[in-house]
Amino acid sequence: MHLLKSLRQSNRDIRILWTSVFLRMAGYGLTNQVLTLYLESLGISEPNIGIFMTLTLIGDTVISYFLTWYADQIGRRRVMMLGTLMMYGSGMVFAFSSHFVVLLLAAIFGVISPSGDETGPFKSVEEASIAHLTPENHRPEIYAFYGLFATAGAALGSLLCGLLVDYMNLQLDYDLERCYRIIFLVYAFFAFLKFSLMLFLTPKCEIYFDAEREEELTEEAALLGETIPELETAPEDYFGLSERTRHLLPRLLAIFMLDSLGYGFMPSAWVVYYLKKTFLTTATGLGILFFITNSVDSISALPSAYLSKALGPVKAILFTQAPSGAFFLVIAFFNNFKLVAFFLILYYTTSTMDVVPRQVLLTSIMPREEITKVMGIVNIGKTFARCIGPIFTGKLAAGNNLRFGFVINGGCVLLADLILATNFLHIDAEIRQKESRDQDIT
């Protein structure tokens, strides 16, 4: 692994994308702390909050589908700028409106994350752009820094939110609803900064097709002793996907969706709600806790690149995700805040260590010209799977049974790992062989 070499070689576009994800996740970290509590302060019931989150995710799925599917035709930079404007608009609506339907429409057609995690078209397009800008031997490190900046942003947003809410509420004597509205204004400001940043991306982020690239892929195929389906110039498929993609993607997608199905039952916003209601945790206490969890989450992105290269991406996913699911599941059985906080920290230490291996897995085995569509399908599928849980989570919360969300979440993760292990371990050898080729970032 060569983190410093990859960092030095990273070009302007890669660094802009790192800063972009930092600002975006800082915004999500802000709103994740207050979204559920803000809706409750407006008199919205817990079951309706669950419905709100489900409909938000459904809307996000539909919009993300169109923007990511046609991103290469529209232009990746344009899609990222459009998504940022949507993010800004939703923040402004949440800051000034109290009407359930208006807020729901803003959440559906704008960009509000009900989970504190990635939402909207950003992630798919950014991941595809990074794959486009980075050779295989540098991708684990470049994606690791991408994950590092993402979770560092979320950590900063969580801490900033907790401190701001308690300062405005306790020192300035603002009521909580007003505090939450101001948080959404800060979210909109982050979106404005992000939009300004997108203006400096270069055309190198866009996909291109030329004879030189085709020759490069042909040489790679000869070196590996295999055929590469992406060289098929006209795949006979309605979706325009090659045979290799049609063979691998559905099976991988089912596994990733099962994992996300469990996550939808207990996203971060409901974890915040559970801690607030069960242990009466203060806003500052929640902010500090999630700053710690996101900080360890951030640091864990770097060793995940090492694990991906040392073990192969599939083994790395299994090595990190299975303990993560177990840590989250056992939280349901503790009534002591310190123990819950301890296992939450363990969970966040390992929960996203599978992200870099998954990015490496998908961008390494799928045709280069289809990566935007592939990443879009995966992220949309994962978002769609998350739509199911919040309806039931709202009912669990209303019946004082929210702790069972931890059990469902952890159980789905462990089952997904079992299926992945029995179907895809053999792919690691192919990917590690590709990564053995020493190339520089241009």
- Mean pLDDT (whole number) for 267-278: 87
Least confident of 169-173, 249-253, 356-360: 356-360
Nearest to 383 by CA among 63, 88, 7: 63
Residue that is written with structure tokens 């809410």 in the block:
165
Between 416 and 215, whose confidence is greater? 416
Q: What is the mean pLDDT of residues 58-82?
A: 83
- Identify the pLDDT of residue 217: 45
Q: What pLDDT does 117 receive?
A: 63
- Ordered by start, the domain boundaries in the chain are 11-201+247-435
Helix, strand or coil, per DSSP, at residue 298: helix
Report CA torsion sign: 22, 136, 324, 303: negative
CA distance 44 to 100: 8
Task: Tell me the H-state helices in 42-175.
Answer: 46-69, 71-74, 76-96, 100-109, 122-133, 139-166
Model-wide pTM > 0.85: no
CB 120 within 8 A of CB 383: no
Rg, the chain, Cα only: 21
Average pLDDT over residues 150-169: 90
Q: Kindly report the average pLDDT of the chain as a whole number.
A: 84
Per-residue pLDDT averaged across 54-81, rounded? 82
Helix segments in 134-175, DSSP class H: 139-166
Average pLDDT rounded to a whole number, residues 241-267 = 89
d(CA 177, CA 345): 29
Does 237 have pLDDT greater than 60?
Answer: no
Is 90 exceeded by the pLDDT of residue 74? Answer: no
Number of H helices, E strands in the chain: 21, 0
Task: Give the pLDDT mean for 164-190.
Answer: 94
For 436: left if phi > 0, alpha if psi spans -120 to 50, otherwise beta; the answer is alpha
Is pLDDT above 70 for 236?
no
Enumerate long-range contacts of 330-334, CB under 8 Å, 24 or more apart. 330/406, 330/410, 331/403, 331/406, 332/403, 332/404, 332/405, 332/406, 332/407
Could you name the CATH architecture of 11-201+247-435? Up-down Bundle (1.20)
The answer, yes or no, to whether residue 73 has pLDDT greater than 90, is: no
Window from 69-73, 178-182, 313-317, 395-399 with minimum mean pLDDT: 69-73
* 96-130 per-position pLDDT tens digit: 999 999 998 888 887 777 665 666 678 888 888 88
Torsion angle of the four alpha carbons 98, 99, 104, 107, in this order, in degrees rounded to the nearest 10: -30
